C-alpha cells in the first residue's frame, strides 16, 4: 500500500536531519562580486573637433559672431608682420578681442586667469581655435589699444542707431567709483616723495654699475630684471611728484593745507575717494552715459576726480561727437548740475536733475531767482512740471542698472594701473554690455542663427 502525505497536515512535520555536506556549504564564506569600478583619473584620447564642443546659441558663439562683423582696422594697425615678410605671425586680433569680451561677461578680469581658461575651458578653447596665447599678450592687448577700443564703441553705437535700437530720446549719466590697484599705504607727501626718488635713482645707478662690471654670466638676466624694476619705480615716483601740484590745488580749493597733498608711488593717477561705506580708498571715477530706452552705453570716460561736478559737459560733448547728435534729454543726479555746467550744455540738450532744497520751506525752489542765468532759470521751471518728474524716473532705472551689471561682472577692484589702462578696462565693460544688448535688440548684428551662431557641423 502506497502512503500519501497530506496537503494540509494538522501538525507540523519534523524537518529532515541536515547532512554534513549541507552544513559545510552553509558555513563557507560567500565570494565577493566581481564589478568594474570607475577610475576618473585616467587619461583618455578622444577624436573630437573644437566645433562640436559648444551647443548652438552658446554665448561664445554669439561673441564671435559679433566680433567677426566688426571693423578691426585699428587693432590691425599695430601688426608689423606682413605676408611675404620675416618674423613670427601675429595672433589674430579677433581672437584677443573676443576672448576679452567673453571674459568680461564672465567676470574674469585677470590676464593670468584668462590664460588658464584658454587651456581648461571649452568655450575659451573654441574661441582660440588651437592658437596658444600667454598672459602677457592678454595684458598688452587690454591696455594698449585704448583709441582702437573707443573707435569700436563708436562703430557699435552707430550700428545700433542704424538698426533703430538706439533713438537717443534721453540719456542718463552716472559715476561709479572703482577701487584702484594702488595701496592706501603707497601715498606720500612731497618731502618723502623726493627722498624716495633720490633713493630710487641711487639704486638704478648701483645696479647699472654692477651690470657693467659683470656684463655676462649666470646673473646677467637677473640683474637686467632688477634694473628694469628699479627704473620703473623711479618713473612712478617722478609721475607722483608731477601730479602733486594738481592734488595741492584740490586741497587748497577744499580749504585745506596744500602741503597735505599726497600722491601714490604705485599708481600716480589713483586718487583717494570716499566710498559708499563711508571709508576713503584709492579709486577711479568711471563715468557712463546710457540711452534710457535701449540701455546701450553711448559714452565712456574715466576721471581722477572723486566727485561728479564738472563731468556733465565733457560727456555731452563726447556723446555728440560719437553719435552725430545730442540726446533730446539729459538725466543726471544732484551732483552734476552746477550753474556753469547748465550754461555749457544749454544749447545742446535740456538737463533734468533735482533742484536743491532750501532751509526755508516757504521758498519755491522751482521759481527763477534774480541771479539765475537763462539756462538755470529754465532748469528750475522745467523740474517743477509733472512731465519732468515722470521722465526723471528713467534715470535710476537706467544708470543704476548699468552700474549694477558692471559690478556683477567684476568691476569692483582694478587689476591695472595708470589712467590709460584703466580707460581700456572701462571701454571693454561698455563693449561687452552693448554686445549683450545688441543680441537682444538687433540679433542680426551678432549673427544669431547664421554662421558660427548656428548649429555646429560635425567634422566628417
- CATH code of the domain containing 339: 3.30.420
Residue 458 has a pLDDT of 36
Q: pLDDT tens-digit profile of 203-244? A: 888 888 876 666 655 577 788 888 889 999 999 999 999 999
Same-domain check for residues 176 and 188: no
Of residues 164, 162, 156, 187, the one with CA closest to residue 429: 156
- 333 domain-assigned: yes
> Within a domain: residue 437?
no
Are 453 and 446 in contact by the 8 Å Cβ rule? The answer is yes
User: Which residue, of 264, 292, 316, is where some domain finishes?
Assistant: 264
Q: In this structure, what DSSP letter does residue 32 have?
A: P
Q: Which residue has the cell 558555513?
A: 27
Between strands 280-291 and 271-274, the pairing is antiparallel
Torsion from C-alpha of 184, 302, 73, 319, nearest 10 degrees: 170
CA distances from residue 267 to 243, 249, 258, 368 in whole angstroms, order as listed: 11, 19, 20, 45
324 and 379 in a common domain: yes
Q: Are residues 292 and 175 in the same domain?
A: yes
What is the span of the domain harbouring residue 290? 165-183+270-422
Q: Tell me the angle at which helices 419-441 and 93-106 cross, rounded to the nearest 10 degrees.
A: 80
Interatomic CA distance for residues 444 and 451, integer angstroms: 11
pTM of the model: 0.84
Q: Phi and psi of 274, rounded to 5°? A: -80, 130
Are 255 and 335 in a shared domain?
no
Distance between start and end Cα atoms, the chain: 83
Q: In angstroms, rounded to a whole number, what is the distance separating the alpha carbons of residues 99 and 124?
A: 7
* DSSP string of 47-88, one letter each residue: ---GGGSS-TT-HHHHHHHHHTTS--HHHHTT----TTSSSP
Same domain, 396 and 452: no
CA-nearest of 66, 71, 68 to 151 is 71
Per DSSP bridges, beta strands 351-352 and 330-331 are parallel
Is 193 a domain residue? yes
Q: What are the grid coordinates assigned to 130, written together?
A: 588651437
Statement to judge: residues 121 and 139 lie in one domain: yes
- What span, in angstroms and rounded, lies between the C-alpha atoms of 71 and 77? 12
Rounded Cα distance, 216 and 224, in Å: 11
Same domain (yes/no): 412, 335: yes
Query: Any residues with CB less than 8 A from the CB of 322 and at least 6 apart, and which?
Result: 153, 154, 157, 298, 299
pLDDT at 460: 32
Give the single-character DSSP code of 413. Answer: B
Low-confidence ranges of the chain (pLDDT < 50): 1, 455-460
For residues 188 and 171, membership in a common domain is answered with no
| Position 452 in a domain | yes
Give the residue among 197, 113, 152 at the shortest CA–CA distance from 415: 113
Helix axes 190-213, 220-253, angle to 10 degrees: 170
- Who contacts 296 (Cβ-Cβ below 8 Å, separation ≥6)? 157, 160, 165, 166, 290, 433, 434, 437, 438, 441
Q: Which of 295, 350, 311 is nearest to 157 (CA)?
A: 295
Based on the domain organization, do 412 and 274 belong to the same domain?
yes
Q: What contacts 340, CB < 8 A, 6 or more positions away? A: none
Q: Which of 231, 264, 297 is the last residue of a domain?
A: 264
Of 205, 233, 264, which residue is a domain's last? 264
pLDDT at residue 209 in the model:
82
Q: Is residue 243 part of a domain?
A: yes
- Looking at the structure, do residues 333 and 345 belong to the same domain, yes or no? yes
301 and 364 together in one domain: yes
Number of structural domains found in the chain: 3
Task: Say if CB 220 and CB 183 are below 8 A apart.
Answer: no
Q: Which residues contact 267 (CB under 8 A, 6 or more apart)?
A: 180, 181, 182, 186, 236, 282, 417, 418
Q: Specify which residues 178 forms β-bridges with.
A: 284
Residue at 120 is within a domain? yes
Q: Is 226 helix (H, G, I), strand (E, B) or coil?
A: helix
In a domain, 157, yes or no: no
260 found inside a domain: yes
Same domain, 449 and 372: no
Amino acid at each position: 500500500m502506497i502512503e500519501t502525505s497530506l496537503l494540509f497536515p494538522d501538525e507540523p512535520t519534523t524537518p529532515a536531519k541536515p547532512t554534513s555536506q549541507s552544513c559545510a556549504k552553509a558555513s563557507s564564506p560567500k565570494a565577493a562580486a566581481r564589478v568594474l569600478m570607475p577610475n576618473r583619473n585616467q587619461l583618455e584620447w578622444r577624436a573630437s573637433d573644437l566645433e562640436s564642443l559648444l551647443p548652438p546659441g552658446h554665448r561664445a558663439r554669439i561673441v564671435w559672431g559679433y566680433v567677426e562683423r566688426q571693423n578691426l582696422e585699428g587693432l590691425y594697425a599695430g601688426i608689423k608682420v606682413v605676408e611675404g615678410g620675416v618674423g613670427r605671425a601675429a595672433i589674430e586680433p579677433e581672437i584677443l578681442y573676443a576672448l576679452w569680451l567673453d571674459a568680461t561677461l564672465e567676470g574674469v578680469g585677470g590676464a593670468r586667469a584668462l590664460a588658464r581658461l584658454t587651456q581648461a575651458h571649452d568655450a575659451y578653447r573654441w574661441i582660440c581655435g588651437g592658437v596658444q596665447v600667454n598672459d602677457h599678450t592678454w595684458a598688452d592687448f587690454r591696455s594698449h589699444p585704448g583709441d582702437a577700443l573707443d573707435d569700436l564703441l563708436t562703430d557699435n553705437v552707430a550700428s545700433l542707431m542704424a538698426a533703430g535700437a538706439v533713438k537717443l530720446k534721453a540719456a542718463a549719466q552716472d559715476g561709479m567709483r572703482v577701487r584702484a590697484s594702488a595701496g592706501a599705504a603707497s601715498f606720500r607727501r612731497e618731502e618723502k616723495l623726493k627722498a624716495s626718488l633720490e633713493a630710487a635713482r641711487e639704486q638704478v645707478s648701483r645696479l647699472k654699475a654692477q651690470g657693467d662690471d659683470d656684463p655676462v654670466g649666470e646673473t646677467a638676466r637677473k640683474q637686467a630684471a632688477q634694473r628694469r624694476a628699479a627704473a620703473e619705480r623711479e618713473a612712478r615716483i617722478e609721475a607722483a611728484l608731477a601730479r602733486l601740484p594738481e592734488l595741492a590745488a584740490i586741497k587748497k580749493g577744499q580749504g585745506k593745507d596744500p602741503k597735505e597733498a599726497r600722491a601714490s608711488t604705485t599708481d600716480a593717477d589713483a586718487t583717494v575717494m570716499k566710498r559708499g561705506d563711508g571709508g576713503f580708498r584709492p579709486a577711479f571715477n568711471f563715468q557712463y552715459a546710457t540711452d534710457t530706452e535701449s540701455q546701450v552705453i553711448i559714452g565712456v570716460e574715466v576721471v581722477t576726480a572723486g566727485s561728479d561736478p564738472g563731468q556733465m559737459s565733457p560727456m555731452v560733448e563726447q556723446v555728440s561727437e560719437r553719435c552725430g547728435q545730442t540726446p533730446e534729454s539729459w538725466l543726471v543726479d544732484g551732483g552734476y548740475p552746477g550753474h556753469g555746467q547748465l550754461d555749457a550744455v544749454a544749447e545742446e540738450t535740456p538737463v533734468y536733475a533735482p533742484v536743491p532744497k532750501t532751509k526755508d520751506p516757504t521758498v519755491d525752489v522751482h521759481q527763477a531767482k534774480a541771479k539765475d542765468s537763462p539756462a538755470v532759470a529754465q532748469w528750475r521751471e522745467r523740474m517743477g512740471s509733472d512731465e519732468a518728474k515722470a521722465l526723471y524716473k528713467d534715470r535710476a532705472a537706467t544708470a543704476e542698472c548699468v552700474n549694477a551689471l558692471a559690478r556683477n561682472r567684476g568691476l569692483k577692484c582694478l587689476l591695472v594701473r595708470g589712467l590709460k589702462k584703466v580707460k581700456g578696462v572701462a571701454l571693454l565693460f561698455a563693449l561687452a554690455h552693448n554686445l549683450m544688448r545688441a543680441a537682444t535688440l538687433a540679433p542680426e548684428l551678432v549673427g544669431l542663427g547664421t554662421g558660427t551662431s548656428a548649429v555646429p557641423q560635425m567634422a566628417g
